[in-house]
Amino acid sequence: SAVGRGPEVPFRSEAYSISAIARGKELRLTLSALDPATGPPPQDLVFRFGMSGSFRLCPAAELPRHAHLRFLTRESPPRALCFVDPRRFGSWRLGDAWQPERGPCVVSEYQAFRENVLKNLDDRAFDRPICEVLLNQKYFNGIGNYLRAEILFRLKIPPFEKARTVLEALTEQERRKKDPSLTLSKKVKLRQENPDLLELCHTVPMEVIMAEKQLSDPEHLDNYAAFKNWLQCYLVPGMSSLRDRSGRTIWFQGEPGPMAPKGQRPRKEPRKKSPQLKAETASPKVTPRASKQRRRATEKPPKSEEREEEEAEEADGAKKGCAHRRRKATAAPALPEVPRGVRRSRRISARCSKGAAPAV
C-alpha cells in the first residue's frame, strides 16, 4: 500500500504459490512461480506481527483498512491475501533468515527450547523476575504478554519471583522424570499430573493453535468471545495487574512476589455486575402521580424548625470555630412555635443587655 512502511517486494509473476513456516513470533512466506523455467526465482519474506498484525483473505474490491501488503488471486472476482496491521507494530523484511537473537521455538522446537533454557541458567538474564524473562525471545521465542500471564497463573507462580529460583527447581524434576526405574506409562503420567513451566510454555500456545479456526479472526465477535472464555487470567475481572520494568502489564492472582516494583500498588480488574443484578437495582418507572406523592413526603420542615437549626449551628460555630462547620449539623429537637412579635422583642432585649442600641 502507499502508506506501508515495509520494503518493496521485487517479485512479479502471473501465477505463483505461497507457502509458510512459523518459528516463534516470526513467519516466513515463500513466493514461488508455478513455472520455474519462465518465472522469477523464489522470494522469501519474514514477518513479525507486533500486537495487531494478521493475515486476512477478502475480496479484492473490499480491502480492509491498514492492508499494507496484498497478494492477489487470479479468480474472478479476485481476492486478496492481506497483511493487516492497524497499529503498525508489525514488519516484514526480504530474505529467509530468522532473527539471530531469537532462540528455538517453544512450539515447533520444544526439546531444543527446553535445553537452551536449562543449560543457560547462569546467564544474568535470569536474575530478573520470571514474568520479564518469559518475554525474552532469546530463551522464550513465541511467548507474549497474554501467554505469560496464563502460564504463571496455572502454576500459581508469583510473577515477580526470581526467574533462576523458579527454573532451577526444574532440574530436580527433570532428574525424577528421567529415573530409569520408572516405566514409560509412569513417566507420562508424572508429566501430565505435574507439568512444569517449560512444558506449559509449549502446551498453552498449542491450545490456542488447535483452536485457531475459532480464534483466528479477532474482529469476529463470536470468535473473540471464545478467546475471552479461554482466558483464565489475562484481563479477567478480579485479577490484579502491575507494570514490569519494561512497561508491560502483567496480570496475576495473589501476591506479586519479592521482586515487585517499588512504589506500585496492584490494580484489580473490577468485576462486572451481571445484567440480572442491574435489572434488580434499576430504579422503577415513576409516574407523574407517584412523583407528586414523593414530593409531598419530602417537603421542607416547618419554617420555625429550620430557623432553630440555623441559629443553633451559627451559635455553635461562633463558639467552636470554623472546623465545626464542616461537620454535619445535628437536628435540634422541635420547639413549640413562638409568635413573631415575641421573638423580635427577645432579640431586642438581648442586644440591650449587651450594651447595644436597639434597632430602629
Per residue, the 3-state secondary structure of the chain, as one string, reads: CCCCCCCCCCCCCCCEEEEEEEECCEEEEEEEECCCCCCCCCEEEEEECCCCCEEEEEEHHHCCCCEEEEEECCCCCCEEEEEECCCCCCEEEECCCCCCCCCCECCCCHHHHHHHHHCCCCCHHHHCEHHHHCCCCCCCECCCHHHHHHHHHHHCCCCCCEHHHHHHHHHHHHHHHCCCCCCHHHHHHHHHHCCCHHHHHHHHHHHHHHCHHHHCCCCCHHHHHHHHHHCCCCCCCCCEEEECCCCCEEEECCCCCCCCCCCCCCEECCCCCCHHHHHHHCCCCCCHHHHHHHHHHCCCCCHHHHHHHHHHHHHHHHHHCHHHHHCCCCCCCCCCCCCHHHHHHHHHHHHHHCCCCCCC
* Percent of the chain residues past pLDDT 70, beyond the cut: 66
- Co-location of 32 and 131 in the same domain: no
Please report, as a single letter, which amino acid is at residue 138: K
- Provide the pLDDT for residue 315: 44
Asked, for residue 206, whether it belongs to a domain, the answer is yes
Domain count, the chain: 2
Asked, for residue 308, whether it belongs to a domain, the answer is no
* Percent of the chain residues past pLDDT 90, beyond the cut: 51
Asked, for residue 4, whether it belongs to a domain, the answer is no
The residue among 302 and 340 whose pLDDT is bigger is 340
- Give CA 166 to chain center in angstroms: 24
- Provide the pLDDT for residue 176: 64
**Domain stops at, among 94, 121, 153:** 94
- Co-location of 87 and 125 in the same domain: no
pLDDT higher than 60, residue 270? yes
Q: What is the CATH number of the domain that holds 212?
A: 1.10.8.50
The residue among 263 and 32 whose pLDDT is bigger is 32
- Provide the pLDDT for residue 192: 58
Please report, as a single letter, which amino acid is at residue 186: K
pLDDT higher than 80, residue 105? yes
- Provide the pLDDT for residue 52: 85
The residue among 325 and 232 whose pLDDT is bigger is 232
The values of phi and psi at residue 254, to 5°, are: 90, -150
- Provide the pLDDT for residue 169: 87
Asked, for residue 321, whether it belongs to a domain, the answer is no
- Provide the pLDDT for residue 167: 95
- Co-location of 124 and 253 in the same domain: yes
The values of phi and psi at residue 123, to 5°, are: -65, 140
Give the range of the structural domain holding residue 118, as residue numbers without chain letter: 110-163+196-269
Q: How many CA atoms lie within 13 A of 163 on its CB side?
A: 23
- Co-location of 27 and 137 in the same domain: no
- Provide the pLDDT for residue 340: 56
The residue among 80 and 351 whose pLDDT is bigger is 80
- Co-location of 41 and 80 in the same domain: yes
Taking a C-beta distance cutoff of 8 angstroms, is the pair 65, 86 a contact? yes
- Co-location of 35 and 130 in the same domain: no
User: Maximum distance among all alpha carbons in the chain?
Assistant: 121
Residues in contact with 342: Cβ distance below 8 Å, sequence separation at least 6, in sequence order: none
Taking a C-beta distance cutoff of 8 angstroms, is the pair 107, 209 a contact? yes
**93-102, 108-117, 243-252, 310-319 — which is least confidently predicted?**
310-319
- Co-location of 114 and 233 in the same domain: yes
- Express each pLDDT in 13-65 by its tens digit: 889 999 999 999 999 999 999 998 889 999 999 999 988 899 999 999 999 98
Mean pLDDT of the chain: 79
Asked, for residue 49, whether it belongs to a domain, the answer is yes
- Provide the pLDDT for residue 273: 57
Asked, for residue 151, whether it belongs to a domain, the answer is yes
- Co-location of 155 and 215 in the same domain: yes
CA pair distance 148, 198, nearest whole angstrom? 11
Strands 267-268 and 240-243: antiparallel
Q: Global pTM?
A: 0.68
Mean pLDDT throughout 182-194? Answer: 63
In whole angstroms, how far apart are CA 199 and each of 4, 140, 164, 196? 38, 12, 16, 5
pLDDT band at 150 (very low <50, low <70, confident <90, very high): very high
pLDDT higher than 50, residue 160? yes
- Co-location of 89 and 120 in the same domain: no
The residue among 353 and 191 whose pLDDT is bigger is 191
Query: Cell numbers of 114, please?
Result: 527446553
- Co-location of 80 and 36 in the same domain: yes
- Co-location of 27 and 128 in the same domain: no
Nearest by Cα to 144 from 157, 127, 132, 153: 132
Q: What is the CATH number of the domain that holds 44?
A: 3.20.190.10
**Domain stops at, among 215, 236, 269:** 269
- Co-location of 24 and 154 in the same domain: no
Q: For residue 57, what are the β-bridge partners? A: 81
pLDDT higher than 50, residue 281? no
**Domain stops at, among 208, 234, 269:** 269
